[in-house]
Chain A
Amino acid sequence: MRASSPCLLLLSGAVLALAVAASPTRDTIPILKAPEAFHEELVLKPLNDGSVYSHFQFTTHIGTMMDDDHFDGAASNLFKHYNLFPRSIGQILHSFEVEELHLTFTQGRWQYSDWGYPLAPSAGTGVELWAWLNDDRRQTDEHWKGLTNTLSGLFCASLNFIDDTITTEPKLSFRNEGLYNTHSAPAADAFTRNSINSNNNNSSIPRKLRYGSLPHENVCTENLTPWIKLLPCKSKAGIASLLKSHKLFDTRFYSMAVHVRSVCEDEQCRVKSLELVQTITAVFDVARHDGSFDWSISGLFEREITQSCPLASTSKVIVNLPQTTQIENQYSLVPHPPQGIHAEGSGDKRQEIAVYDLKKILANTTSFQLSLQWKGSRPQSVRAISPGIVAHRYFTGFGQERGGLAIEIRNNNSQDIEAIYLDTVPWYLKLYLHTFSIQLDGKTLDNQRELVQKMFYQPAVDRSRPAVLEMALKLPANSLVKFTVSFDKVFLKYTEHRPDANRGFDVGYAVITAQLPREQGQIGYGGLDHLRLYQEREAGLVQGRRRIRDRNQEEEKLEEDKIRVYTDTLLVSLPTPDFSMPYNVITMTCTVISLFFGSVFNLMMRNFEVVKKEKKMAKKSSTGGDDTKGKGKDKTEKTE
Chain B
Amino acid sequence: MVILSVWAVVLLGLPLWWKTTRVYRAELPYDSIEQWNQWKTCRPRFPIRVNLHLPETEQQQSGETPTLKDITQGVTSRVQEMRAAQGIKGPLLAVEFIAGNPWKGPTNHIIDAIVQTSDAVFESEEKILWQLLDTNEDTQGIHKVQDQLKTVKYAPGYQLTFSLFSGDASNGVREWKMQEAINAYLAPFINTMSMVSKFTIESQIQHYASLTFTPQLENGSQEHFLTPDSLPNFINAAEWSLASTVSSLPSLNFLTYVPKPSESPLVIKTTQSAPKSSTNSFLIPRWGGVAILNREAERTKGTQEHPELITIQELEPVMRVFLAQLRDLLGVTDLSTSSSPSFPIVFHKSLSEAPTTWELDSLLRRRSAENLVDSLATISSLARLVRNTPNMVVLDHIQKDVTEALRDIARSCEHLSRQEYVEALAASRDGLVKSETAFFDPTMVSMLYFPDEHKYAIYMPLFVPISVPLLMSLLRELKRLKEKKKQAKQNKDSETSESTHDKQE
Check A590 against B462 for contact (C-beta < 8 Å). Answer: yes
Rounded to whole Å, the gap between the CB of A554 and the closest CB of chain B is 46
Within 8 A of A (CB), among B146-172: 169-170
Q: What are the interface flags for A138-152 relative to B under an 8 Å C-beta threshold, 1 for contact and 0 otherwise?
A: 000000001000100
B10 → chain A, closest Cβ, in Å?
11
Residue contact B246 to A91, C-beta cutoff 8 Å: yes
B221 touches A (CB below 8 Å): no
In the bound complex, what is the Cα–Cα distance between A150 and B169 (angstroms)?
A: 29
B-facing residues in A289-311 (Cβ within 8 Å) = 309-311
Query: Which residues of the other chain, A, contact B210 by a CB distance below 8 angstroms?
Result: 236
Contact B169 A237 (CB under 8 A): yes
Q: Which residues, 199 to 244 on A, are CB-close (under 8 Å) to B? A: 229, 232-234, 236-237
Q: Bound state CA distance, A258 and B171, in angstroms?
A: 29
Which residues of chain A come closer than 8 Å to B498, judged between CB atoms?
Answer: none
Q: Are B178 and A601 in contact (CB under 8 A)?
A: no
Contacts of B201 in A (CB 8 A): 80
Assuming the contacts A233-B208, A590-B461, asked whether A81 and B178 have C-beta atoms less than 8 A apart, the reply is yes
Q: Tell me the bound Cα distance from A595 to B465 in angstroms.
A: 8
Query: Which segment, of B1-9, B93-101, B368-376, faces chain A?
Result: B1-9
Given contacts A309-B169, A590-B462, A591-B461, contact A12 B179 (CB under 8 A): yes
A594 to B461, CA, bound (A): 8
Binary interface profile of A, 584-609, with partner B (CB < 8 Å = 1, else 0)? 00110111011101100110110000
Of A82-90, A331-339, A490-498, A530-538, which binds chain B?
A82-90
The answer on a CB contact under 8 Å between B202 and A640 is no
B269 at the interface (CB under 8 A from A): no
Total interface residues on A, using CB and 8 Å? 45
* Interface contact B246-A92, CB-CB below 8 Å: yes
Residues of B within 8 A of A595 (CB): 465
On whether A81 and B203 interact (CB within 8 A), knowing A587-B461, A602-B469, the answer reads yes
A226 to B: closest C-beta gap in Å? 9
Question: B residues within 8 A CB of A153?
Answer: 245
Complex CA–CA separation, A39 to B79 (angstroms): 70
| Interface assignment of B241: CB less than 8 Å from any CB of chain A | yes
Name the residue on A nearest B238 (C-beta).
A225
Nearest-neighbour CB distance to chain A for B147, whole angstroms, equals: 34
Residue of B nearest to A84 (CB): B205
Task: Enumerate B423-474 residues with CB–CB distance to A below 8 Å.
Answer: 458, 461-462, 464-466, 469-470, 473
Asked if A605 and B3 sit within 8 Å, CB to CB, the answer is: yes
Contacts of B480 in A (CB 8 A): 639
Once bound together, how far apart are the Cα atoms of A12 and B464, in whole Å? Answer: 79
Q: Chain A contacts of B246 at CB under 8 A?
A: 91-92, 94-96, 146, 150
Bound: A88/B206 CA distance, A: 12
CB distance from B171 to the nearest CB of A (A): 10
Task: Give the residues in chain B near A591, CB-CB below 8 Å.
Answer: 461, 465
Task: Find chain B residues with CB under 8 A from A639 CB.
Answer: 476, 480
With both beta carbons as reference points, the residue of chain B lying nearest to A310 in the complex is identified as: B169
Q: Any chain A CB within 8 A of the CB of B247?
A: yes
B198-228 interface mask toward A, CB cutoff 8 Å, 1 = contact, 0 = none?
0001111101101000000000000000000
B466 touches A594 (CB 8 A): yes
Given contacts A310-B170, A590-B461, A598-B466, are A77 and B179 in contact (CB under 8 A)?
A: yes
When C-beta atoms are compared, the residue in chain B nearest to A81 turns out to be B203
CA distance A137 to B137 in the complex (A): 50
Contact yes or no, B179 A81, CB < 8 A: yes
- Across-interface contacts of B464 in A (CB, < 8 A): 594
Other-chain contact of B207, A95, A150, A232 (Cβ < 8 Å): A232
Measured CA separation A255–B205 after assembly (Å): 28
A14 interfacial contact with B, CB 8 Å: yes
Q: Which of A67-106 contact B (CB under 8 A)?
A: 77, 80-84, 86-88, 91-92, 94-96
Interface residue B180 (Cβ < 8 Å from any Cβ of A) = yes
Inter-chain contact A150/B461, CB cutoff 8 Å: no
A542 within 8 A of B: no
The residue from B179, B208, B245, B462 contacting A92, defined by CB atoms under 8 A apart: B245
B177 touches A12 (CB 8 A): yes
Chain B residues 241-289 with CB under 8 Å of chain A are 241, 244-247
B466: chain A residues at CB < 8 Å are 593-594, 597-598
- Residues 472 to 505 of chain B near chain A (Cβ within 8 Å): 473, 476, 480
Among residues of A, the one whose C-beta sits closest to the C-beta of B306 is A14
What residues on A are CB-neighbors of B25 within 8 Å?
A: none
A274-329 residues at the B interface, CB under 8 angstroms: 309-311
Which of B179, B202, B208, B461 is within 8 Å of A87, CB to CB?
B202
Contacts of B203 in A (CB 8 A): 80-82
Q: CA–CA, A88 to B241, complex, Å?
A: 8
Report the Cα distance A598→B468, complex, angstroms. 9
Cα A602 to Cα B469 with chains together (Å): 8
Do B204 and A605 have beta carbons less than 8 Å apart?
Answer: no
> In the complex, which residue of chain A has the Cβ closest to the Cβ of B3?
A605
Chain A: CB-nearest residue to B164: A83
Bound-state Cα–Cα, A502 to B458, Å: 27
Q: Once the chains bind, are A311 and B207 in contact (CB under 8 Å)?
A: yes
Q: How far is the CA of A229 from the CA of B210 in the complex (A)?
A: 13
Distance in angstroms between the alpha carbons of A86 and B246 in the assembled complex: 13
Cβ 8 A contact of B208, one of A81, A154, A236: A236
**B174 contacts the other chain (CB 8 A):** yes
Report the Cα distance A614→B464, complex, angstroms: 44
Let me know if B316 is at the binding interface, CB within 8 A. Answer: no
B64 interfacial contact with A, CB 8 Å = no
Contact partner of A586 among B1, B239, B461, CB < 8 A? B461
Which chain B residues border A602 with CB–CB below 8 Å? 469
Q: Which residue of B lies closest to A606 (CB)?
A: B2
B334 within 8 A of A: no
Q: For B56, list chain A residues within 8 Å (CB).
A: none
Q: Which of B180, B462, B476 contacts A12 (CB 8 A)?
A: B180
Name the CB-closest residue of B to A588. B461
Whether B175 and A14, one on each chain, are in contact in the complex, defined by CB atoms closer than 8 angstroms, is: yes
A83–B205 CB distance below 8 A: yes
Report the separation of the CA atoms of residues A237 and B169 in the bound assembly, to the nearest whole angstrom. Answer: 9
Residues of B at the A interface (CB closer than 8 Å) are 1-3, 6, 169-170, 174-175, 177-180, 201-205, 207-208, 210, 239, 241, 244-247, 458, 461-462, 464-466, 469-470, 473, 476, 480
* Residues of A bordering B, CB below 8 Å: 12, 14, 77, 80-84, 86-88, 91-92, 94-96, 146, 150, 153-154, 229, 232-234, 236-237, 309-311, 586-587, 589-591, 593-595, 597-598, 601-602, 604-605, 639-640
Q: Give 16 CB contacts A-B under 8 Å.
A: A81-B179, A81-B202, A83-B205, A87-B202, A87-B244, A91-B245, A91-B246, A91-B247, A94-B246, A95-B247, A310-B169, A593-B466, A594-B464, A598-B469, A604-B2, A639-B480
By Cβ-Cβ distance, the 10 closest A-B pairs, closest first, are A594-B465, A590-B461, A590-B462, A82-B204, A236-B208, A310-B169, A95-B246, A88-B245, A87-B204, A587-B461
5 additional A-B residue pairs with CB within 8 Å, beyond A87-B244, A150-B246, A589-B462: A594-B462, A597-B469, A598-B466, A598-B469, A605-B473
